[in-house]
Structure 1
């Protein structure tokens, strides 16, 4: 396979696969943790505020028609880039290649492509910051040395995609400068980002399809208010102002208390239940309780059928769909 340096440019030859991250990494500790779902609207808004990324989602994605399914199934391959061990580079190239056909011209006449290095890296930067914010806002916090370690791990993680490393800052302080500049000068109040933040018509999660609609509508109100508040608290100040949100000192104090409560309460969750299934499989493999993924009989843990895209779109190369589901004539949701 080949990577693409930018839309319309010559492809890059894949380099020998870099070493994947392992259980000794801080990224393993935080990226597959279920607490990251508290940041899901934040990640979606930050990604879609990038004008090229937002245009790609608005014009090429069914995200707003199947929010839960799109989010929940994406966690499998994206998490696999971190947790798939010897298969991680293969998973990364597969994720990269979902984006090959996503490009065009936005409403302001600007060309965009999902595999433009600056665009692709911005999406990865938000995933990296998700690990930082999970640790800092809903976990024990990070030392300066741990931030440096997480940053070095994120560079190794990004290398697995086979993309140009040109946009990647050399170290954590340089990344902070990059992040602040992107938030202040590049991100926009896009329609796609606004749509991510609008949870008023959010459908039931697939696993709660049994819940009567009136009960979900009632439950959705506090859910929407809580997640909107959490997201506003997590947004960088420059982005918060751009979207017209207000955040007071009292909000910040309450947020810190809520984050501390999540951190302390998380200790009561059994370790085996704290991680996404793809991450749990990685931990089991690393501890020897699951066969190595080099064994051809051992396939990665894949998304359940309830998260799959509509049956008539499962052959679209832009969608992650496990091979077994592609072969099946129909998979019930």
Structure 2
């Protein structure tokens, strides 16, 4: 597939929705538990995790929603991100298995945002949205040999990767405070209780998070208030600026 690509209608809506941004601590909570991704974040953004994510993710949304060739941008932004993790294994941000897992955390957050904030997707809609996510992944110019072909295969891959590849190492432990307590951007306003509740089950296990009923209530309240707020606001308010027409 050519790098000249534009997200389909089904992907553009949730990807350009502010609710996706509100679920990003879920994605980042998993990323800091991946030895290679954690090492890269600790090396290149040790004290500014969310400033780094703001730049990277808003650019990601912009390129997906416009007719832009993403391949050279992705390569230039990631070519220098290389080194060794704490286990002595060499990493490079463009290695397909590493890039795929990071991408997968965003797909998981995208789907979870729909379930949390609405509108909920049917299974058929999830399958179609994932198909468009696959086109999005291929537009980056990274090998798709490991890319799960269907939504069902993706969930199997993601469950297995989270169970077998994630560990709380020294880099992840050093980044955990920032990951769970965002200090800038839209996620700065999130209640800490809601951030704890939105974490993936594997992240809760490894980070020692035991959400109380108050945490789950905080996330439900956040979702309800957000839905009401967007319902009475102009439609463009819900859109990320980089995704507006």
Range into which the TM-score falls when normalised by the shorter chain = 0.7 to 0.9
Q: What do residues 5-51 of structure 1 show as CA deviations (whole Å, max 9, x unaligned)?
A: xxxxxxxxxx53364213xx222111122222322322222122111
Are residues 16 and 127 of structure 1, via their aligned partners in 2, closer, same or farther at CA, if it must alter by over 3 Å? Answer: same
**Unaligned segments of structure 2, at least 5 residues:** none
Higher relative contact order (CA 8 A, sep 6+): 2
Cα distance change on mapping 1:58 and 1:40 into 2, 3 Å:
same
1:180-214: per-residue Cα shift (whole Å, max 9, x none)? 111111111134433443149x796489xxxxxxx
Identify which range, 48-57 or 186-195, moves more after superposition. Answer: 186-195
Q: Choose the corresponding residue for 1:28, options 4, 7, 12.
A: 12
Q: Tell me, which stretches of 5 or more residues in structure 1 are unaligned?
A: 1-14, 208-219, 285-333
Cα distance, 1:54–1:136 mapped onto 2, change above 3 Å:
same
1:147 to 117, 126, 150: 126
Residue 93 in 1 paired to residue 72 in 2? yes
Paired residue secondary structure (1:65): coil
Tell me how far 1:155 sits from its aligned partner: 0.2
Supply the distance in 2 between the matched residues of 1:204 and 1:50 (Cα, whole angstroms). 22
Alpha-carbon deviations, 1:52-98, whole Å to 9, x = none? 11111222x1x2333443233223321123111x22xx234302331
1:176-325 mapped onto 2 (5 Å cutoff) = 176-199=155-178, 205=184, 226-227=191-192, 229-248=193-212, 251-252=215-216, 255-280=219-244, 284=245
Deviation by residue 1:220-249 (Cα, 9 ceiling, x = unmatched): 8xx57x23x223222222321121111345
Could you tell me which residue of structure 2 aligns to residue 43 of structure 1?
27
1:83-122 alignment to 2 at 5 Å?
Answer: 83-84=65-66, 86-87=67-68, 90-122=69-101
Change in Cα spacing, 1:58 to 1:204, as seen in structure 2 (3 Å) is closer
Structure 1 residue runs of 4+, over 6 Å off?
Answer: none
- Residues 192, 129 of structure 1: alpha-carbon distance in 2 compared, 3 angstrom cutoff: same
> Residue 147 of structure 2 aligns to a residue in which SS?
coil
Is 1:77 the counterpart of 2:63? The answer is no
CA distance in 2, matches of 1:48, 1:109: 17
Could you tell me how far 1:128 is from its partner in structure 2?
1.4
CA distance in 1, matches of 2:175, 2:97: 22
Structure 1's 47 and 203: CA in aligned 2 closer, same or farther, altered over 3 A?
closer
The alignment's C-alpha RMSD in Å is: 2.7
Q: Distance in 2 between matches of 1:118 and 1:76?
A: 23
Corresponding residue to 1:136 among 99, 115, 130: 115
Give the secondary-structure state (helix, strand or coil) at the position aligned to 1:169. Answer: coil
Closer, same or farther in 2 for the Cα pair 1:154/1:204, shift >3 Å? closer
Distance of 2:184 and 2:2 partners within structure 1: 40
Higher helix share: 2
Between 104-113 and 35-44, the greater mean CA deviation after superposition: 35-44
Count of residue correspondences = 244
1:57 aligned partner = 41
TM-score (norm 2): 0.87
